[in-house]
Amino acid sequence: MSISSRWQALLAPLLLGAAAAAAASRASAAGQDALFTEPADTQASVLPIVVNTWAGPCFGGSAAAAWAALQAGGSVLDAVEQGCTHAEAQRCDRTVGYGGSPDEAGETSLDALVMDGGSMRAGAVANLRRVRQAASAARLVMERSWHSLLAGEEAMAFAVGMGLQARDSLSTAESREVWRKWVEGRCQPNFRQGVAPDPTQSCGPYRPLPVNKSSAPRHDADKASWEGSRQHGQRAVQQVVQRHHHHRQPEQQWPSEAAHDTIAMVAVSADGAVAAGASSNGAIHKVPGRVGDAAVPGGGAYADNEVGGCGSTGDGDTHIAFLPCYQVVEAMRRGLSPQAAAEEAVRRIARRVPTYVGAVVAVSKDGRHGAAAHGWQFSYSVVSAASGGRVETVAVEPLGMAGAGSAGQAAISTEPGT
């Protein structure tokens, strides 16, 4: 054997090893994390694409409205605004738009945001009253001011000044009746804690209870109220969130057989522009003035043209603490697939908050999509060039339940009539 041949024989294993290492590095950069496997049926999406939380005629109709905006030559922001506006006008499951989720005082208020992944600008409104078009108001904040978030009466005044119509109230006869029955039921459940009278037993008005040893409750009744209130906190959140998903008993179902929660939407154009948004009337029976994640960029939705977008639904107070959509987009930036990024974000929350109920959807700038859920059955709507403009439903098995070691698309179906 010649010297040249012997060197080739010696170097061949090293060259093969280097090639394998390079291939592994490329696979990792492409998001092929060994801990996560993206379902094959989400890998063939073709731009443009619209993805939003929840499915069925109303939420699927929102996806169709967004798709129609894109097909008419509109921008991704137009698509997100029109999709969310459809859900607001149709009052999907009474958890989006006017006439749903009355607060402790019986009033309905709205939260919404839109985000442009090109400019990285966002606009949002919180605790919006008397104006029905929350997503449009959020876009006005982004485009007609240099602010990102307006709240309360001032948000309403701004929206009206920019041309939106003010109503006497966002309540309806239906929402007032829901509130009346809640009061008759001793205001159960609610979001109060550390107050007297005991919020697990009665309505307010409430007063704060002492929270330190040096100022212990002065009366036995206050001691009992404090203990009951302390245990009540997380349980109340769980009860209220569970009222919005289809594991409820029939007598608990309000207002429909398929009540859900916030709509969050991501749209990606044929040239890769990304926008995201969210709209909700918040947690039912909330403390007046409460702001949910649908008004918080990174909490309810997030978009970045360099990466993709995300939308969330579920326990908005927990989402504000964890900002799952910001995490999802940053995880995709690191190379994780949309499915892997969604799972990572939901697992992080569930590990710290075991009672968490919620879900996220993730969409990459090239149109791949995935989702993860915890504590409930979840589904989302997709319409894209790959589906020929037909709205498809993707069912997602929740994480952490028997027989569901990881989140995934259990089934894809086409919405009838869309």
Q: What angle do CA 384, 389, 395 make, to 5 degrees?
A: 60
Q: How far apart are CA 206 and CA 191, in angstroms?
A: 12
* Ramachandran angles phi, psi of 322, nearest 5°: -100, -20
Q: Is 262 a catalytic residue?
A: yes
Task: Give the list of residues 6+ apart from residue 220 with CB closer than 8 angstroms, or none.
Answer: none
Place of tokens 């090239």: 366
Q: Is residue 238 within 8 Å of residue 317, measured between CB atoms?
A: no
Count of CB atoms situated within 10 Å of the CB of 70? 25
SS3 74: coil
Q: How far apart are CA 363 and CA 380, in angstroms?
A: 12
Q: Which of 53, 108, 262, 418 is catalytic?
A: 262
Chain centroid, CA 257 distance in Å: 20
Q: How far apart are CA 33 and CA 38, in angstroms?
A: 9
- Burial per residue of 105-144, b for 16 or more beta-carbon CB atoms within 10 angstroms, e otherwise: ebbbbbbbbbbbbbeeebbbbbbbbbbbbbbbbbbbbbee
The edge-to-edge listing of strands for the beta sheet with 378-384 is 149-151, 121-128, 110-116, 274-280, 263-268, 49-53, 378-384, 392-397, 408-414
Residue type, 139: R
Query: How far is the CA of 212 from the CAs of 181, 232, 248, 307, in angstroms?
Result: 36, 18, 38, 47
Q: Is residue 164 within 8 Å of residue 136, measured between CB atoms?
A: yes
Q: Is residue 280 within 8 Å of residue 112, measured between CB atoms?
A: yes
For residue 413 the two structure tokens come to 């179906």
DSSP conformational letter for 376: S
Q: Is residue 194 within 8 Å of residue 210, measured between CB atoms?
A: no
Catalytic residues: 262
